[in-house]
Structure 1
Amino acid sequence: MNIKPIRTESDYKRALVDLENVFDAPKGTPENDLAEILITLIDKYESEHYPIEAPDPIEAIKIRMAEMDLHQKDLMSFIGTKSRGTISNILNRRRPLTLPVIRAIGPKLGLSFDVLVKEYKMG
């Protein structure tokens, strides 16, 4: 098999087919080495041609809540409020995230400060 850079959509599709043929190769074999090289080339092409944008802070919070099976009441305890309306307003983009809220929920949800301080559209 001739390994070359992936420059076109045709090259990309060919590389995916080639990867399918060697994907389950045992470690330490030339086929496994080829699979690792193809994965690297495919990843580079996909990151350049099919970038995935990070979600805005509110979407990131909602995604992490779903992943962790959390509810609004859980966020209430994280930020020390008894008002369900506060969390609802934040999640519905009627109230902005504040620095104290970011500091309280970021570590609990495993979301970095960089993700939570991005600008986002208010509703």
Structure 2
Amino acid sequence: MMAFILPIKTESDYDRALERISDLMKSEDQESLDELDILTILVEAYEQGHYPIPLPDPVDAILFRMEQQNLTPADLEASIGNSKQVSDVLSRKRPLTLKMIRALNANLGISAEILIGNSTTPISNDT
């Protein structure tokens, strides 16, 4: 029989839910797996409200994508501009422009929210 599931409102509720999830991970019956699904959703909602994950720095996101796709700075010229502009952006000497953000989003699939959201340098409207 499925346990009575309560909302997670406090850190104590959260800890209790994590313990229950740990126990349910060993189960194979459908009722336990259903309870696990529900508790996982509740825990995720609690974590989003209480432990938000900050967006990565835009340059760090670009560098990460470069590493993932084995790209060189020259590969970024189509999105950012000439080699000097690419170098300046990657060394944080030049802010991303709206045009660069759009191109990086389209060409590399980096979220515009990440490219805009947590920038330590201002975003320029220049091209």
TM-score (norm 2): 0.77
Equivalent of residue 20 in structure 1, options 9, 22, 28? 22
Partner Cα separation in structure 1 for residue 113 and residue 11 of structure 2? 33
Residue in 1 that maps onto 2:31: 30
Gaps of 5+ in 1: none
Residue in 2 that maps onto 1:53: 54
Give how far 1:9 is off.
1.7
Question: What's the CA shift string for 1:85-111, capped at 9, x where partnerless?
Answer: 321210111011123322322212102
For 1:94, what is the secondary structure of its paired residue?
A: coil
Residue in 1 that maps onto 2:125: none
Matched, 1:121 2:120: yes
Question: What's the CA shift string for 1:64-92, capped at 9, x where partnerless?
Answer: 223323221221244453xx332121011
Partner Cα separation in structure 2 for residue 6 and residue 119 of structure 1? 29
CA contact under 8 A between 1:24 and 1:32: conserved in structure 2?
no
- Quick one: structure 1 residues 96 and 79, their matched pair in 2 at CA, closer, same or farther if it must change by over 3 Å? closer
Give how far 1:24 is off.
5.4
RMSD of aligned Cα (Å) = 2.4
Give how far 1:39 is off.
0.3
Residue in 2 that maps onto 1:101: 100
Amino acid at match of 2:22: E
TM-score (norm 1): 0.79
Matched, 1:7 2:6: no
Question: What's the CA shift string for 1:25-67, capped at 9, x where partnerless?
Answer: 44x7101110111101100111111001112322222232233
Amino acid at match of 1:120: S
Q: Tell me the percent identity.
A: 40
CA contact under 8 A between 2:101 and 2:115: conserved in structure 1?
yes
Partner Cα separation in structure 2 for residue 6 and residue 109 of structure 1? 38
Partner Cα separation in structure 2 for residue 19 and residue 41 of structure 1? 11
Partner Cα separation in structure 2 for residue 21 and residue 119 of structure 1? 38
